[in-house]
Chains A and B, each alone.
Chain A
Amino acid sequence: MSKSGSTRVKVAHSYISEKVTNIPPSGIRRFFDLISSMEGVISLGVGEPDFVTPWHIREAAIYSFEKGYTMYTSNQGLPQLRQELAKYLESCYGLSYNPDSELLITVGVSEGLDLALRAILNPGDEVIMPDPCYVAYPATASLAGGVPVLVPTTEEHDFKITAEDIERRITQRTKAILIGYPANPTGAVMAKKELTQIAELAQQYDLLVISDEVYDQLVYGIEHTCFASLPEMRDRTILLNGFSKAYAMTGWRIGYAAGSHEIIEAMTKIHQYTMLCAPIMGQMAAIEALKKGSSEVQAMVREYDRRRRVMVKGLRDIGLSCFEPKGAFYAFPSVKATGLTSEEFAEKLLTEEKVAVVPGCAFGQYGEGYVRCCYATSLPEIEEALKRMGRFIDKHR
């Protein structure tokens, strides 16, 4: 501190902005600290694949290093990647986006979400989203100056958000609906019909829809409906997706946003000043993933499906009620029968049986009474975890 600074009168205050002070810390962090000090823990608390990125994708990235691709890319991302993406969205969902003006490569869906909200929200604007939901949704909306409006979703309705419940919460200040299906933490998916009702609502009230579809390829026995592919929704939707989950590429930090030229341009404006561009090595790897990754994705999906069935049956067999998740890689059983709160359950389960799960309350008020169990872990580990959990339930019932 400078001399003149030290003569200033000291007042009791914090240097941290009110905005940041007011957002609650992630409930997940605290658990992380607890678990780090223990050994022999089986963790069902992860939010990422246990697979390593397929070798041909890693190898392509290594080759790009060797060739000297170590620079910035254009703000929007490598043209070749955007072209491949446009092709992919066209063939998967029949959506056509102009790679030059309607696609933006982001640093994961995380950045895409932040950009989308910052691009559209004025202070006090409301964003309607489900509860429970991915931890970043309410926080990023608040940080962008908006107000998250949470819509309770329940096990009875398979943790789906309904158009009816959304409509009741629409006000003059509502700007957007933020959804993410298949869902973290519940594994819920939405049928085309249900999404169409939300689409109609968006049109009726002139709202934007931010659709986080990072788990779009991880669905089991059903087909994923891309929100932007619904009638009249292409220009009303900010489609967010990325490579983290389907291609087991969480650490590469590559995602993308697709939408109307106006919105993508606004998002790019923020992106160019705050992020400049997504990392080039990740973008190089993403090109390879799009071009040649689909068979590995399918193999991983089949493996997740096997684990999903073992996990859900196992949870039910030990006496927990568990709705059938049809997407992502999470099961979300109710622990209400134990009389413990989700946090007590998770903490005791960790200390007594060394199994880590994430308490549902970390994902919102309506996640209370549930825990998130990730089945992106090997079958023997899932079976061992279930055995331990069974012992735990017997003790605490």
Chain B
Amino acid sequence: MKQIFESLEKDARLTSEQISTMTGIPAAEVEKTIKKAEKDRAILRYKTVIDWAKLGEEQVWALVEVKVVPQRDVGFDAIAERIYRFPQARSVYLASGTYDLAILVAGKTMQEVAVFVSEKLAPLETVEGTVTHFILKKYKEDGEILQGGEGIKRLPITP
């Protein structure tokens, strides 16, 4: 079964038939397994990795460190929930170390990101402080190297 998901994770556009060929598992069974995983939310979504910069679309990203006061009974969960409902917060993690929440914020301009942090994030009751790091360049995202890469260097015919 793991082979099905490994194939899909590499290429979400594979059909059940293609996966069946690759794994030797009957197509109907592949279909059923995928449906079940979708239902169980083991598969959350099918998405595409896009290098927006290459398409000429400006996007500003920031990694925001947030220090919060944990609350009785709900710990960090309640505040994390408050934050992750904002669409600007693209990823939200609870982290160990000198701060508590790590948030990846995206916006069209630096101004937009700054406004989000200062007007939405920082004023939340339990937030003690924020540190915003603007992302200057993306090298690798979610396992994909965005620029350069290695290219094929082997010769076309070898013994």
Interface presence of A300 (CB below 8 A): no
Complex Cα–Cα for A41 and B155 (A):
12
- A-B contacts, 16 of them at CB < 8 A, read A26-B159, A32-B155, A36-B156, A43-B157, A45-B156, A46-B158, A47-B159, A48-B154, A135-B159, A136-B159, A302-B3, A306-B7, A307-B22, A310-B21, A313-B21, A379-B11
Partner of B159, one of A28, A41, A50, A313: A28
Number of A-B contacts (CB under 8 A): 56
Task: Tell me whether A35 and B7 are in contact in the complex, defined as CB-CB below 8 angstroms, given that A306-B23, A309-B23, A309-B24 are known contacts.
Answer: no
B74, CB-defined interface residue at 8 Å: no
CB interface residues, A 303-328, toward B, < 8 Å: 305-307, 309-310, 313
Chain A residues with Cβ below 8 Å from B11 are 379
What's the minimum C-beta distance from A59 to chain B, rounded to whole angstroms?
A: 14
Q: Are the C-beta atoms of A46 and B156 separated by less than 8 Å?
A: yes
The answer to whether the Cβ of A134 comes within 8 Å of any Cβ in the partner chain is yes
> Of all chain A residues, which has the CB nearest B2?
A302
User: Is B58 positioned at the interface, with any CB of A under 8 Å from its CB?
Assistant: no
- Residues on A with beta carbons closer than 8 Å to the beta carbon of B155: 32, 46
One of A52, A184, A356 near B157 (C-beta < 8 A): A356
Tell me, yes or no, whether A199 is within 8 Å of chain B by CB.
Answer: no
Q: Roughly how many angstroms separate A35 CA and B156 CA in the complex, as a whole number? A: 7
Judge if A31 is at the interface, Cβ distance under 8 Å: yes
Compute how far the CA of A307 lies from the CA of B23 in the bound complex, rounded to whole angstroms. 9
Cα separation A135 to B152 with both chains bound (whole Å)? 25
A109 to B3, CA, bound (A): 32
A41:B156 contact, CB within 8 angstroms: yes
Contact residues of A with B, CB < 8 Å?
A: 26, 28, 31-32, 35-36, 41, 43, 45-48, 50, 52, 134-136, 184, 250, 302, 305-307, 309-310, 313, 356, 358, 379
- Would you call A302 and B6 a contact (CB within 8 A)? yes
Contact partners of B3 in chain A: CB under 8 A:
302, 306
**Residue among B18, B150, B158 making CB contact with A47, cutoff 8 Å:** B158
Query: With A302-B6, A379-B11 in contact, is A32–B156 under 8 Å at CB?
Result: yes
Contact A46 B21 (CB under 8 A): no
A358 and B156 alpha carbons, distance in the complex (Å): 11
Complexed CA–CA distance, A382 and B24 (Å): 17
Tell me whether A50 and B23 are in contact (CB under 8 A): no
Min CB–CB distance B122 → chain A (angstroms): 39
Closest partner residue, chain B, to A357 (CB atom): B157
When distances are taken between beta carbons in the complex, the residues of chain A under 8 Å from B24 are 309
State whether B154 touches A35 (Cβ < 8 A): no
User: Given A52-B150, A302-B3, A379-B11: A46 and B22 within 8 A (CB)?
Assistant: no
**Bound Cα distance A105, B69 (Å):** 60
Closest CB in chain B relative to A236 CB, distance in Å: 28
Q: Chain B contacts of A48 at CB under 8 A?
A: 154, 158
Alpha-carbon distance between A324 and B65 when the two chains are bound, in angstroms: 55
In addition to A32-B156, A306-B22, A313-B21, 11 A-B residue pairs with Cβ atoms within 8 Å of each other are A28-B157, A32-B155, A35-B156, A43-B156, A47-B159, A250-B154, A302-B6, A309-B22, A358-B157, A379-B11, A379-B22
| A122→B18 CA distance, assembly (Å) | 54
Q: How far is the CA of A364 from the CA of B155 in the complex (A)?
A: 23
The 8 closest A-B pairs by CB, nearest first: A306-B22, A43-B156, A45-B157, A32-B157, A47-B158, A35-B156, A47-B159, A135-B159
- Closest Cβ–Cβ distance, residue B114 to chain A (whole Å): 36
Residues of chain B with a CB closer than 8 A to A47's CB: 158-159
Question: B23 contacts which chain A residues (CB < 8 A)?
Answer: 306, 309
